[in-house]
A and B are shown apart, each in its own frame.
Chain A
Amino acid sequence: MTDAFFIILSIVSVVSAILVVSPRNPIYGALSLLVMMLSLAGIFLQLTAPFLAVMQLVVYAGAVIVLFIFVIMMMNLEPAEMGEEKGFWYKMICFFLAGFLAVFMTVGIAKSRKALPDRFPEKATAEKVETKERTRLGRVDLVDTETGSVPETFGSTPRVGEILFNPYVVPFELVSVLIVIAVVGAVVLTKRKV
C-alpha cells in the first residue's frame, strides 16, 4: 500500500515539476507548482512528518503560490510581452546538463546502496515503548535500539516544537527576523515613490 501511494505521488510530482518549467504562460507554471507541492505534502505524510506536511500546505501552497499568482495576475502580461525563449540547442544542452546531474547523483546513490537502509525504521506501537526520560511534555518516547524503531509521535507537532523552542530557539528567532526584513524589503521595493 505505502509503496503504491509513493509511486503515484512521485510520478505526479515529477510530471507536475516538468509542467512547472516548460509552459509558456506563467499561470500554468504556478498551478503546476501547486500540484507538485500537494503531492510532496503527501510524501511528507508518508515519511511520518505530519507537522511539516501541514506546514507545506499552509506556507507553500497557501502563501507562496498565492503570492506568485497574485503577482502574475497583477502584471497582466500580454503574450507578446512575455518575451522570447532561449534557442533550441541551448535548451538541449541544458537538458543534457541537468540530465547528467541527475544521472551521476543517481549513480552515487546506487553505489552507496549498502550504506543506506533498505527499509525505514518501524513506527513503534504503544506496547513497545520504553520510557527513559521525563520532560515537561510528559514521557519521552525513545527509539528502541534493538528493534530500530521510531516512536509513534515521531515528527508530530509537540516533538518538533520541543526541539524548535529549546535547542534551536535562536535560529527560530532569527528566521522570524529574516521574515520581517523580507516583508519590509518587499514593501520598499514595490513602492512607486520612495
Chain B
Amino acid sequence: MTAEQTIFLIPFFPLLGFLVNGLLGHRFSRRGVGLIATVLPTLSFLVSLSLLIELIAYQPHGGLHQTLFSWIALGDLSIDVAFRYDALAAVMCMAVTGVGSLIHLYSIGYMGHDRSPARYFSFLNLFMFAMLMLVLADNLPLMFVGWEGVGLCSYLLIGFWYEDTENAKAGKKAFIVNRIGDFGFLVGIFSIFFVMNHLVAAGHATPEIARGVQGMKFTAINALAPHFNTVSILGIAAGATATLITLFLFLGATGKSAQIPLYVWLPDAMAGPTPVSALIHAATMVTSGVYMIGRLNGLFLQSEVTLAVVATVGAVTALFAGTIALTQNDMKRVLAYSTVSQLGYMFLGMGVAAFGAGIFHLMTHAFFKACLFLGAGSVMHALEHAFKKTGIHGDPLNIQKMGGLRNRMPVTFWTMVLATVAISGWPLTAGFFSKDEILWQALARGQHNGWFYVVYAIGLVGAAVTAFYMFRMVALAFLGSYRGKEGVETEIHESPKVMTVVLIALAGLSVVGGFIWLPGFIPGAQWLRDFMGLGGGGHGGHGAGHGGGHHTAAEITAMLVSVVLALGASGLGWWFFTRKRDTARKLARETFFTRALYRLSYNKYWVDEIYEALVIKPIYYGAVAMWLMADMVMIDGLGVNGLGYLVKRVAASLRRLQSGLVNMYALIVLFGAMAVIWFMLFSVLYST
C-alpha cells in the first residue's frame, strides 16, 4: 500500500470509532468505550505522522493525493471525495489528531461518572471525523461537508446534558449562529463556481485546471484566482468580484470561528463538558475559519479590501473579547473569551497576508488553550468532588470563590501556569513566537498601508490585556487562601493520573512548541514557515521566503516592546489580584468611571441583549405575524377550514333537493328533459 493510499485512514479511524461506540457502545464497559475512542484517533495521529515524514522526505509537488470515489457528477460538476495531504493539511492534521487524542484520554478520567459515556465518545469521534474531512478535503464542497459536520457535533456536544434546558438552548444558539455564517460560505461557494466556469469558458484554464474547476478543487481556485477580477457577477463591477466573494467567505469564517459579529455562541457553548470546550471550542473547530482562509489564500490575496477587513475584524475582536474577559468570574468564560480573542489574532495574521503565521498561532494556541481548558476542567472536577463529599453546594467555576489551590492541586497549578505564560507571550514560549510573528508582520505591512499600523497597535494592546486577565485568573484561582465555603478545602485533591498526564504533555508543548519557527532575523530557523510554504507577508502565495536584513532592527525592537508589555501586564495582573485585591474590588464597585467600565465589561457590552432586541425579537414577531396571517388566516381559515365550511354550506343547500317529494323529483326530471330537448331542437335547427 503506497503512502497516498493510506490518507483515507486518517478520517476513517474516528468514523469507525463513532460507529462502534454509537451502535454497540452500550455493551462495552466504561473503560472499553473510552479506550476504543482514544485509540482510534491515536492511530490517525500515527498515520498522519508517517505521512508527514513522507512529505518531508520526498517533498512531492502539491502534496499527497487520494481520490476515493466520485460524489457528484452532474453537468459541469464532477466533485469527488478526494483528499490532499500537503504541508498545511499535515500541520492541521497533526494538531487535530495529536491534541484530539490527548483530550480523548483526558475524557476517560473526566467523564468517569457520567451517565452516557458511549454517546459522548461516539460524538467526540464523529467530531474528529468531520474535522479531519474538513482539513483533508481537496475541494470546496467536501470541506463544506466537514464544516457542517463539525457544526453538528458542536451542537450535539454542547447540549450533551440536554436535560437542562439552558444547555440545549446553548447548543441551539451555536448551531443557528453558525448557520448564519454558513449562508455566507454558501454564497461564496456558488459565486466561485459561477466565476470559475466563466473563466474556463473564456479560455483562461489549462485542461488540468479545467478538470479541477469541475471538481471545485482548491488548486484550481487558487490558480484561477488572479483572473477573478475580470468577471462580473450580477452586473456588479468586475473589479469587486474577488472582494465580494471573499467577504462572503469571511462571513462564514466569523460564524464558525467566533469573530465579531457572530461570536456570541462561544461563551454560551461552555455549557458543554469541559473536554468538549477544550477540543472543539479551543483547539480545532473554531480554527476552521482560519484554515479556510489559509486554503483559499490565492483568492484572498486578490482583494486588498477583504484582507484589511479580516485583519481589522480580527484585531478588534481580539481587543474587544479581551476586555470582556477582564471581569468574568466563571473560569470557563474567561477562557472562552480568551479563545475569541486569540482567534482574532489568527485572523489578524491572515489579514496581513501572513498565512503561515496565522496557522502557526493556530497550532500553538491549540496547545496552550487546550491545556488551560483541561486545567479548568481539572479544577472543576476536584471542586465538584469536594462539594459532593461534604454535601455543601457551590459553583465549581467561580474564581472569586477559589484560592489556595496551588497547594492542593500542584500539577494542575504548574501546568496552568506554564500555559498562561505561553498565552501571555513570555519570551521563548510557543505563544510568544507565534503571536510575535503575527504582530511583526502587521507592523511590517504598515509600510505598505498605514492602516495596518493601527491594527498593530490594537493587537499590541490586546496582548497586554491578555496577559493581565490570564494572570488575574491564575492568581484568583490558585494563589492566596481559599475563599469558598467552610469545610470544602480539605476535600480538594489533585485529579487522577489519566488527566494530569495530558496536562503535563500539553504544557510541555506550550513551552517548546514554538521552536519550529523562530523570528525571521535568525536565519535558517524558520522551519515551519518554509515547510508550509505559505510565506510570511508580502505577496508570495506559495513558496516566497522572507529575507532582508534591514528589517532586523525593527523586528527586534518590536519584539522587545511586546516582551516588556507582556511581562509588565502579567506582573500587574498577578500583583493586583494577590496583594491588592481590595483595591481591585473598590475600582470595580465604587469609583464611578471605573465602575461604568466594569459593568460594561462584565455584561459583555450587552451584545447578546442588543442582538435579542434588534434581530431576534423582530424576526420572532415577524414569524408570529406570518403564522397568524398566512398560516392561521389564509391557509387554515380560508383554505382548509374555509373550504370545509364552503362545502358544508353548498351541501346544505343542495340537500334541499332531496325533499322526498315526488312532485319535486318530477320537476327536476322535467328540467333535465327540457334542457336536452332545447339542445337537440335548437342546435340542430341552427346548423341546418
Contact = CB atoms under 8 A, between A and B. Distances in A.
Whether chains A and B associate is yes
A101 B666 CA distance: 14
B666 to A, nearest CB: 10
Contacts of B663: 86
A112 B682 CA distance: 10
Nearest to B661: A86
Interface string A83-120: 00010000000100100110011001001100100000
A98 B468 CA distance: 107
Interface residues of A, number: 11
Interface string B633-677: 000000000000000000000000000000100010010001001
Contacts of A115: 688
Interface string B277-302: 00000000000000000000000000
Contacts of A104: 674, 677-678, 681
B236 interface: no
Given A108-B682, A108-B685, A94 B667 contact: yes
Most buried by A among B667, B681, B688: B681
A105 B667 contact: no
Contact of A101 (B674, B682, B685, B688): B674
A112 B667 contact: no
Nearest to B674: A101
Most buried by B among A94, A108, A112, A115: A108
Contacts of A101: 670, 674
A112 B685 CA distance: 7
Give the dominant DSSP class at A's interface. helix
Contacts of A100: 674
B677 A105 contact: yes
Interface string B585-606: 0000000000000000000000
Contact of B681 (A86, A94, A97, A105): A105
Contacts of A97: 667, 670
Interface residues of B, number: 10
A100 B682 CA distance: 15
A104 B678 CA distance: 8
Nearest to B671: A97
A108 B674 contact: no
B674 to A, nearest CB: 6
A108 B681 CA distance: 6
A115 B681 CA distance: 13
A97 B682 CA distance: 18
A106 B103 CA distance: 103
Nearest to A104: B678
A30 B79 CA distance: 94
A107 to B, nearest CB: 8
B685 to A, nearest CB: 5
Contacts of A108: 677, 681-682, 685
Nearest to B680: A108
Contacts of B685: 108, 111-112
A101 B688 CA distance: 22
Interface string A113-138: 00100000000000000000000000
Nearest to B682: A108
Contacts of B688: 115
A97 B671 CA distance: 9
Nearest to B684: A112
Contacts of A94: 667
Nearest to A107: B681
A86 B685 CA distance: 37
Interface in B485-523: none
Contacts of B682: 108
Nearest to A115: B688
Contacts of A112: 685
A116 to B, nearest CB: 13
A111 B681 CA distance: 10
Contacts of B670: 97, 101
Contacts of B678: 104
Contacts of A86: 663
A142 to B, nearest CB: 30
Nearest to A97: B670
A86 B662 CA distance: 13
A101 B678 CA distance: 9
Nearest to A108: B681
For the complex of A and B, 9 pairs with smallest distance between CB atoms? A108-B681, A111-B685, A101-B674, A112-B685, A104-B678, A108-B685, A105-B677, A97-B670, A108-B682
8 contacts: A86-B663, A94-B667, A97-B667, A101-B674, A104-B674, A104-B678, A105-B681, A112-B685
Given A104-B677, A108-B682, A115-B688, 9 more contacts: A94-B667, A97-B667, A97-B670, A101-B670, A101-B674, A105-B681, A108-B677, A111-B685, A112-B685
Interface of A: 86, 94, 97, 100-101, 104-105, 108, 111-112, 115
